[in-house]
Amino acid sequence: MQLEQNTISTTEIKRDTANMLVGNSFVGLLMTIFAFSGLVFFFETDNESLVSLKHKVWLVMMIVCLLRFIDACYWRFGLAHKSFAPDAVIKRFSVGVCLTASVWAFYSVVFYPSMGAVELSATMVILSAMSGGAGTVLSPSKRLVSFYCTALLVPMSMCVLADESGEFFILGVLGLVFWIGIFLSASRYNRFFVNTLYLKENNEKLLAQMRVERSETEKVNQLLIATNEKLDASNANLEAEVERRTEDLFRLSNRDPLTNLLNRNGFLKHLNNLLDTTKVLNNSLAILFIDLDGFKQVNDSSSHKVGDIVLAEIAARLRNYSEKNHLARWGGDEFVAVIPYATVDTAKAVAHAMRSGVTIPIMANDNQVTLDATIGIAMYPEHGDSAVDLIQQADLTMYDQKRKQRGSVGVFNELLHAEIKRDQRLCERLRCAIDNGELSVFYQPIIDVKSDKVSSVEALLRWKCDDEMITPDVFIPLAERSGLMPEIGAWVLNRALIDLSHWQFAESLCMSVNVSITQLLDDGFVKVLDSALNTTSIAPQRLYLEVTESVFANNAELVTQRLHDLVDRDVKISIDDFGTGYSSLHRLQSMPFDFIKIDRSFVQNTSEESDTIIRATLLMAREFRCKTIAEGIETDAQRVHLADLGTDYLQGYYYAKPMSASDFISWYNKNY
């Protein structure tokens, strides 16, 4: 093995090379055996002579692999932990690799004329995969990786290119292109490997030199001034070398490898130093938290390779608007920038410029990608005096801005701070709301249009915190974000079924309970449901579970399975707020449901467009053989109109507002 480094040609380096090559050969041999056997035995042919030849070639390959395996085992168990002559080991390994590559080349050339489209494609894929793996594993030897990859890819590619039919010409071109790519990658890996060995040897030499010189210093002490001066000079050189390497380690640990920007750790260190200087000079600075809009779709629809290209390009563009080391990749598709001496207007101007740079279309592997960015700004000293606080404020501002309007710029303010503090306080109180008896369930009747009687009631959660009624549209999102929804939802389900079991009404009265997506996806939800039904002895047919259309946008396969599990228990499913969220006929066909609830926004809008949507919903419900419930009935005219359109059930303030359990009992006894 010959290493391409000026002064490196030692036995230790060769031994490291042998360890690297032979030590990684076991997986390669295993893949060779499986891949070659798959090609030989998976694709059948009626030509017996051709089959016989294939089997002979397979036998040759197995013998070569067996010999290589025996040699590798001998190295692993006989030589790996002992001093050994690396030249013989490398020579045997090289012969084995060359024989393996030759058999691959012979197979691809000899059997190419008999290959069908599928076999040819499979062979090209396997040869490309084996070559790609070899580009890394065999990279310590340029000659070996060159011969192996050439033997695997070039003969097959040339056969394809030379084929007069030209049917698979593109495969030949791709094979040669991939071959060139492997060469380039293997060359980089080889340089990295050689440099690593070079650094290792030099480190050992430097350490040995340091030990010798210090030992000599202890012996000579003050006797030889000249020797001391030389030693001082040598130590100075060593310190410079250590310092240089320390800088290299700092760069590796504080830089993002994809974009070469500062990473989170490096940026925090730099920002803390910058803040110290800013405080001394009594200046100001701005923190910009930048989140890309639409990047997740790039990874989902294209590939992570395309995503990496896009991130690198975005980083290059953002550099144009910031000073050196004033921009960092915070993580994923998030970036953070610091602008010294900035006012709010300056920070907003830079943020808008950055956003404009991001929105320019990007070409990545023949894919045109167009993104946008939402940016939050925090100012020092107005919004915080530490790096962590400022970045957090900018992040929260970005999140709030994204919730309001994607692709915009926002500045942190006290109102937002107050909202965040309130959310944090409510979130902490919500964790104890059940134990403190602050939660309650109200009930609103649902009326059967034909009989004008109560068919079911909807359970609605209410929260009274310190004499303040917190609305569901405030605390439900808090419960979702804090992971409390499964626990709260289980409490609501149990409370509603317990109340239903105590009511002395008609046994046909049903209970409708809202279920969030986090509850539905929770592994323990079905057990909670079964326990609640068993404890209260409520028949499953009397329980309606309402899910919003948003569940269709999540893990569709798991959601479908969970809904079918519920239907198998005879529990009824109702789609809430239909027409306002994410849905499609394809999704509806795969999801089991019994009711569609028409959103109040369509009921209270008297326009012809709303009526058209309601009629379409009713028609769809009939086609799916399910019932419809109209929400938000507040006037007699609305009642009559929705009944005339053909709605099965009605619900709203016209009949009754949501009531406590005791008030509902009184209302029911009074009206029925």
Q: What is the 3-state secondary structure (H, E, C) of 570-622?
A: CCEEEEEEECCCCCCHHHHHHCCCCEEEECHHHHCCCCHHHHHHHHHHHHHHH
Cα separation, 364 vs 217, whole angstroms: 60
The rounded distance, in Å, linking the Cα atoms of 659 and 454 is 14
- Would the pLDDT of 5 be above 60? no
The DSSP annotation for 212-247 comes to: HHHHHHHHHTTS-HHHHHHHHHHHHHHHHHHHHHHH
Give the model's confidence band at 310: pLDDT under 50 very low, under 70 low, under 90 confident, else very high: very high
Of the ranges 41-50, 145-154, 273-282, 629-638, which one carries the lowest mean pLDDT score? 41-50
Instruction: Return d(Cα 399, Cα 406) in angstroms, integer.
Output: 9
Q: Give CA separation, 172 vs 40, 103, 111, 311, in Å.
A: 21, 20, 16, 32
Tokens of residue 421, six digits: 């503090």
Question: For residue 552, what is the DSSP state?
Answer: G
Write the DSSP symbol of residue 432.
T
Cβ neighbours of 370 (radius 10 Å): 11
Tokens representing 167 are 């049917």
Question: b or e along 301-325 (b: 16 or more beta carbons within 10 Å of the residue's beta carbon)?
Answer: ebeeebbebbbbbbbebbbebbeeb
Q: How many helices (H) and strands (E) would you count in the chain?
A: 24, 16
Asked if residue 282 has pLDDT above 50, the reply is yes
Kindly state the percentage of the chain with pLDDT values over 90: 39
420 CB-near residues (< 8 Å, 6+ apart): 396
341 or 606, higher pLDDT: 341
For the beta carbon of residue 175, count every other beta carbon within 10 angstroms: 25
> Which amino acid is present at 544?
Y
Residue 444 parent element (H or E) = strand 439-448
Give CA separation, 612 vs 293, 606, 615, 616, in Å: 34, 11, 5, 6
511 is written with which tokens?
């209970």
Asked if the model's pLDDT at residue 458 lies above 60, the reply is: yes
**Phi, psi (rounded to 5 degrees) for 65:** -65, -40
How is residue 325 written in tokens? Answer: 């080391």
- What is the reported pLDDT for 86? 76
Confidence of residue 92 (pLDDT cuts 50, 70, 90): confident
Instruction: Say if residues 86 and 137 touch (Cβ distance below 8 Å).
Output: no
d(CA 136, CA 189): 7
Average pLDDT over residues 410-415: 88
Look at 39 and 232; give whichever has higher pLDDT: 39
**E strands within 259-395?**
285-293, 327-331, 334-340, 362-364, 367-369, 372-380
Res. 583: pLDDT tops 60:
no
How confident is the prediction for the chain on average, in pLDDT?
85
Residue 160: the pLDDT is 82
Q: Which helix (H) or strand (E) holds 61?
A: helix 48-74
The DSSP result for 320-342, as a single string, is: TTS-TTSEEEEETTEEEEEEET-
CATH superfamily of 425-671: EAL domain (3.20.20.450)
CA separation, residue 244 to residues 147, 249, 448 (Å): 38, 9, 81
User: 264-412 domain in CATH 1.10.3680.10?
Assistant: no
SS3 label, residue 378: strand
How buried is 28 (Cβ within 10 angstroms: 0-12 exposed, 13-18 middle, 19+ buried)? buried
Beta bridge partners of 578: 598
**What are the φ and ψ backbone dihedral angles of 469, each rounded to 5 degrees?**
-85, 115
* Position 8 confidence tier, pLDDT thresholds 50, 70, 90: very low
527 to 548, 612, 668: CA distances (angstroms): 21, 41, 32
Residue of 390 and 117 predicted with greater confidence: 390
Tokens at 649, concatenated? 């059930």
| Closest alpha carbon to 134 in 21, 250, 3, 296 | 21
Domain coordinates in residue numbering, the chain: 11-201, 221-254, 264-412, 425-671
Of the segments 109-118, 178-187, 577-586, 619-628, which one has the largest average pLDDT value? 619-628
Length in residues, the chain = 672
Above 60 in pLDDT, residue 81? no
SS3 content of the chain, % helix, strand, coil (to 5): 65, 15, 25
* φ/ψ of residue 210, rounded to 5: -65, -40
Strand partners, 331: 334
User: Which position has the higher pLDDT, 190 or 571?
Assistant: 571
CB atoms within 10 A of CB 372: 16
**pLDDT-derived band of residue 85, with 50, 70 and 90 as boundaries?**
confident
pLDDT single digits (tens) 379-412: 999 998 999 999 989 998 998 888 788 899 999 9
State whether residue 10 is helix, strand or coil: coil
Residue 585 has pLDDT above 60, yes or no: no
Q: How confident is the model at residue 283 (pLDDT cuts 50, 70, 90)?
A: very high
Q: Distance (Å, rounded) from C-alpha 436 to C-alpha 448? A: 37
Dump pLDDT digits (tens) for 494-538: 999 999 999 988 788 999 999 988 888 888 999 999 999 999 999
Q: Is the pLDDT of residue 79 over 70?
A: no
Region 177-188: what's the mean pLDDT?
79
pLDDT at 72: 82
Segment 176-191 mean pLDDT: 78
Tell whether the torsion through CA atoms of 121, 122, 127 and 130 is positive or negative: positive
Q: Give percent above pLDDT 70 in the chain.
A: 90
Round to whole Å and give the CA distance between 519 and 632: 26
Which residues share a beta bridge with 454?
Answer: 447
pLDDT at position 1:
41
Taking residues 160-174, report their average pLDDT.
Answer: 79
Q: 35 falls in which pLDDT band (50, 70, 90)?
A: confident
**C-alpha to C-alpha distance for 614 and 632, rounded to whole angstroms:** 13
pLDDT digits (tens, 9 = 90+) for 329-377: 998 899 999 999 999 999 999 999 999 999 999 998 888 899 999 999 9
Structure tokens at 453: 């009687």
Q: Rounded to whole angstroms, what are the CA distances from 67 to 34, 60, 92, 94, 99?
A: 16, 11, 10, 13, 11
Residue predicted with more confidence, 561 or 653: 653
Give pLDDT tens digits for 535-551: 999 999 999 999 876 66
Tokens for 359, please give them: 């929105």
Q: What's the pLDDT score for residue 3?
A: 39
DSSP letter for 75, please: I
Give the pLDDT of residue 2.
40
Please tell me which residue, 33 or 216, carries the higher pLDDT value. Answer: 33
* Whole-number Å distance between alpha carbons of 89 and 134: 18
